[in-house]
Amino acid sequence: MRITAGPATGLVDDPIRIQVSEGRPGEKVLLRGRLVDHGGQTWESWAEFLLDQNGALDLAEAEPISGTYAGVDAAGLCWSMRPLDSAAARDHSPTSGTRPITLRFRVEGGKETAAAVEVERGWIGPGVSREPLERDDLKGFLWVPAGPPPFRPVLSFGGSDGGVHEESAALLASRGFLTLALPYFRFPGLPPDLVRIPLEYFGRAIQLLAHDPRADGGGIAVVGRSRGGELSLLLAATFREVDAAVAYVPSGIVHSGIPASDESWQSDVPSWTWQGEPVPYLAHVAADASAASLPSPARLTPLYCADLSKWAEVQAAAIPVEKSSARLLLISGVDDAMWPSSLFSELVLGRLQAHGEGHRVRHIAYPAAGHRFNFPTLPGTVTASVHPADGRLYEYGGTPEGNSRAGLAAHIEAVTWLRRRAE
């Protein structure tokens, strides 16, 4: 037998096609997937198939008899990989930084000698370059696309885990965007907590991008996830240079800060400041239950929903998205276990519609997705992980298949959204 998988190298958003040939017609074969991640953890998947009348098999067309996934899915052997040590896998992501990963696939059948193949998937396309940034008190890394400028400038940042998220920035640069991966806390030289972060810091990054000679001279797009999704909407409402925003699992309400403590989610401190004053926020101190009292892995969505009953405070903390002229793409998971991102997104949509601005916002809610989307080419079976703010285990929600399908679909929507300019 022979197994092929391709393309042999590519980006994480590139498809993988796995095929078997030169077998016996009608033979039952076993396919295995394997990955040793950047943390040294091993992930494995498997599926049984019957070869067709030509002794061949194409995973894009065939449904497994049994295995770690069901239904026809070309990438099923990838996202359905399970960690051999599930507890250890909750401490880290399968990928670390922008290093590529190697996926191995093997076919076994009857008395045939097993055959194997490898493919590599990464975040950095050919010709993409990385420039460290440390000036004007800004930190981060500027990812520059291959080819001649000008490029669409994008400001990219993460959420409550802090640090710098270069993977998404490198991938966006690989798709043609001049992308600045900007940390804003829990990074050397920056604040340790998501508390009192000045919006002026992001304003300086926006100006730096706007004046980069490789930028196309138009507005700046911002892309953020979770608390970074909240931030992206806040920046769009604050800085006129922002003409587009992609907010993954966001909130249209400003929430209280997240100090690194035993009860980091129950706080009454500001996340952001503007011109020296706290940006109005919804405090989280009066919930009937705390994160510490929830079963592990904890689902925080009920706590956030309970605080929505304080409607006057919610309205005071709502982001005035109507002040922006930016086009807003909201991406949410209906089964989000960290906070109700679909409900939060609908509040944004309703607010803009009430101001006659509904035409410049789109909300895509993925029913089987949670808080963390992933690409189908990467393992997606771990839906809970330890958060660096307090070291507790939190549930993100969604199904492995739902999160994987939503991750690719949302990424395609985001890239399309960023490529458009205001009409």
Q: What percent of the chain has pLDDT over 90?
A: 86
One domain, residues 245 and 369: yes
pLDDT at 229: 98
Q: Same structural domain for residues 110 and 133?
A: no
Per-residue pLDDT at 389: 82
What's the confidence (pLDDT) of residue 198?
A: 98
Which whole-number Å values give the CA distances from 206 to 211, 232, 304, in the listed order? 9, 12, 31
If asked whether residues 233 and 360 sit together in one domain, one would say yes
Amino acid at 93: S
Residue count of the chain: 423
The residue from 122, 153, 186 where one domain ends is: 122
**CA atoms of 408 and 416, how far apart (whole Å):** 12
353: part of which helix (H) or strand (E)? helix 341-354
Residue 387 belongs to a domain with what CATH number? Answer: 3.40.50.1820
Same domain, 116 and 155: no
Q: What is the pLDDT of residue 75?
A: 97
* Distance in angstroms (rounded) separating the CA atoms of residues 57 and 23: 9
Check residue 371 and give its pLDDT: 97
The verdict on 204 and 296 lying in the same domain is yes
The DSSP bridge pattern shows strands 112-122 and 9-11 to be parallel
CB 326 within 8 Å of CB 360: yes
SS3 178: strand
CATH code (residue 30): 2.60.40.2240
Q: At what angle do helices 199-210 and 227-238 cross, to 10 degrees?
A: 70
What is the distance between the alpha carbons of residues 107 and 226, in angstroms, rounded to a whole number?
40
Domain boundary among 122, 155, 174: 122
Assess whether 307 and 403 both reside in one domain. yes
What would the pLDDT profile of 228-265 be if each residue is shown by its tens digit? 999 999 999 999 999 999 999 999 999 999 997 766 78
What is the side-by-side strand order in the sheet with 57-58?
2-6, 17-21, 57-58
Instruction: Characterise 356 by phi-psi region: left (phi > 0), alpha (psi -120 to 50), beta (else).
Output: left
Q: Do 109 and 245 reside in the same domain of the chain?
A: no
- Residue 133 sits in the same domain as residue 281: yes
Name the residue type at position 389: A
Question: What total number of domains does the chain contain?
Answer: 2
Q: Are residues 87 and 177 in the same domain?
A: no
Same domain, 148 and 226: yes
What's the confidence (pLDDT) of residue 264?
72
Low-confidence ranges of the chain (pLDDT < 50): 422-423
**What is the C-alpha radius of gyration for the chain, rounded to an integer number of angstroms?**
22
Verify cis geometry, omega within 30 degrees of 0, for the bond prior to 297: yes
Domain termination site, one of 122, 154, 176:
122
The pTM of this model reads: 0.95
**Dist. CA 231–CA 224, nearest whole Å:** 7
391 and 342 part of one domain: yes
Q: What was the pLDDT predicted at 285?
A: 84
152 and 218 Cβ atoms separated by less than 8 Å: yes
In this structure, the answer to whether residues 104 and 219 fall within a common structural domain is no
Domain of residue 335 covers 129-419
Tens of pLDDT, residue by residue over 204-237, are 999 999 999 999 999 999 999 999 999 999 999 9
Give the other-Cβ count within 10 Å of 211's Cβ: 10
Tokens of 276: 């020296």
